[in-house]
Structure 1
Amino acid sequence: MKISTETRMGRNRRNPREERSSFLILCEGPTEKGYFTGMRSRRGPQLDVDIPKGDHISAVREAVSRVSAEYDAVWCVLDTELDKMLTASMLRAAQGSSVELGLSTPSFEFWLILHHAKYTKPFQSADDAKKMLKKISPFWSEGNTRFSDFADKVDSAYARAQQISPDGKNPMLNPSTSVWRLVASIQGRPEAIGRSTGAGRS
């Protein structure tokens, strides 16, 4: 019995969407969006990156509302701004959901700093972290953050961030960031497999 080429090809063809994992990343501003948008690649996971309207809590609530079968993981990348009450509120807003929180203290700029240098001195404010990043990387600006400017140093940032906060369970550690967990998941690092900690464990 002759099997047509069309039938055989149709049976063997895989759906590209099924082969790629998908992430929804809700972030605070253009710095984070520029970074994660730049991580998109043809063979990597599908990354949908949005900046929701409203404050930190609104962003977490929107993330919770957008959890669906469309995404393998939903993340919120936000700053603690050294505010314990704010951080506690973000954790509560995500509690009981599958939303993952990538929190940085005092801000996402600390994650970017770690691409260039090991830094453990506490910051007094989020603005101090931005000033330090600008000092280390004079050409950086919030509205013009490009992943390509940091790509070759991701491994260094990852190692430094993980060394500071190995389990990512203390978001108020100053300075610290659990963004390395999200990066591990996007890049498919072995240590990210089965490590999903769920909401409230950033």
Structure 2
Amino acid sequence: MTAPTTMPKFSKENSERRRIAKQARRLSLRVLIVCGAAETEKQYLEGVKGLYRNPAVAVKIKTRDKSPLEVVRYAAAFSKSDKDDFDEVWAVFDVDEFDIAEAVREAAKSNVNVAVSNPCFEFWLLLHFVNRRGHLNSYKQANALLCKHLRDYDKAQLDFANFQDKIDIACARAKDIDETREKPYANPSSGMWRVIGQISPGSHA
């Protein structure tokens, strides 16, 4: 005699949990951030994400250690291929020695937001300690100024604890610089305050 087929049991409790989880994902703003460096920017942003733990925002951080144009293109392509269905996409990169005009145009066409640091991300980190507004010739100069405040600064192993209690003042300084300059992405400047504004507590609540 053939044994009766056993039907799978579906728990109403598990079903309700899945429904609530799915609803929470829909209510959260889904943000993709692609960093144009291997370590520093990602380590900093992972620190910000962990510090704020904003339930209204779901953040995925990726790296693409390439030119600004390639960072933008990767961000656009990844956002279309990933299952998370992002509401916002950001490309975070430095000017350094690049001509970023094409990257900025590509970002506008691809609906990718940009957070540009000029000349480099170290300027953004420097704003945590001092309201620097004078022109910076290079990464080397920005790094030297930062090391006056952080002797053990290592871009490969960022210690987020050195910055976490100064984020608000860095954002205020960077925003003020942006709003008083005639040209976007001027030297020195950083758009990191825009990204942080999207994932901080109170945003999209």
Fold conserved between structures, TM > 0.5: yes
- Amino acid in structure 2 at the alignment position of 1:73: E
Structure 1 residues 164 and 82 mapped into 2: Cα distance closer, same or farther (>3 Å)?
A: farther
Question: How far does the alpha carbon of each residue in 1:123-170 deviate from its partner, in whole angstroms, 9 at most, with x for none?
Answer: 011221112111221122101113332111011001101111128883
Aligned to 2:154: 141
Structure 2 partner of 1:18: 26
1:41-190 alignment to 2 at 5 Å?
41=50, 42-44=53-55, 45-68=57-80, 70-81=85-96, 83=98, 86-166=99-179, 170-188=183-201
| 2:79 match: secondary structure | coil
Secondary structure, aligned partner of 2:128: helix
Partner of 2:35: 27
How many angstroms apart in 2 are the aligned matches of 1:96 and 1:169? 23
Is this contact kept in 2: 1:114–1:161, CA < 8 A?
Answer: yes
Q: Which residue of 2 aligns with 1:36?
A: 45
Check the 8 A contact 1:103/1:177 in 2, yes or no.
yes
Question: Percent identity, aligned pairs only?
Answer: 30
Q: Structure 2 CA distance, aligned partners of 1:52 and 1:82?
A: 17
AA of the residue aligned to 1:34: Q
Number of residue-to-residue matches in the alignment = 184
Query: Structure 1 CA distance, aligned partners of 2:182 and 2:134?
Result: 19
Change (3 A) 1:18 1:81: same
TM-score scaled by length of structure 2? 0.78
Please list every run of at least 4 consecutive aligned residues from structure 1 whose deviation after the TM superposition is greater than 3 angstroms.
41-44, 167-172
Q: Which has the larger radius of gyration?
A: 2
SS at match of 1:70: coil
TM-score, scaled to structure 1 = 0.79
Unmatched 5+ stretches in structure 1: 1-5, 194-202
Q: Cα deviations across residues 156-193 of structure 1 (Å, max 9, x unaligned)?
A: 00110111112888344111111111110111556xx6
User: What SS is found at the alignment partner of 2:100?
Assistant: helix
**Structure 2: gaps of 5 or more residues:** 1-11
* Equivalent pair of 1:40/1:46 in contact (CA under 8 Å): no
Q: 1:60-113: CA deviations, max 9, x gaps?
A: 111111234621211111001264xx1112112212122100001101111111
> Which residue in 2 is equivalent to 1:3?
none
Q: Does the 8 Å contact 2:54/2:201 carry over to 1?
A: no
* TM superposition shift of 1:38: 1.4
